[in-house]
Amino acid sequence: MIKINVDMDKCQHYGQCVFEAPNVFRLNDDDKLEYHATAEDSERDNVQAAIDVCPMQAIFIVD
């Protein structure tokens, strides 16, 4: 399992992460980001892609 953290003070809810890792990130009905704090190891590449595309650099894998 990998642990994920999003700095919600930085996050502007652009949703780019949703396109890269839809099993981990989603925008709710109010267009606010929601995410799973843990994900299967098989999602690591998708989460890393989400980290890379985040314009606010608000997503982190916690080791």
Report pLDDT digits (tens) over 23-38. 999 999 999 999 999 9
The alpha-carbon radius of gyration of the chain (Å, integer) is 10
CA 39 to chain centre: 10
Q: Which residues of the chain have pLDDT under 70?
A: none
Nearest to 34 by CA among 1, 63, 11, 61: 11
Q: How many domains does the chain have?
A: 1
Kindly report the CATH number assigned to the domain that includes residue 23.
3.30.70.20
| Domain boundaries, position 17 | 2-62
Distance between CA atoms of 37 and 62, rounded to whole angstroms? 10
Mean pLDDT for the chain overall? 97
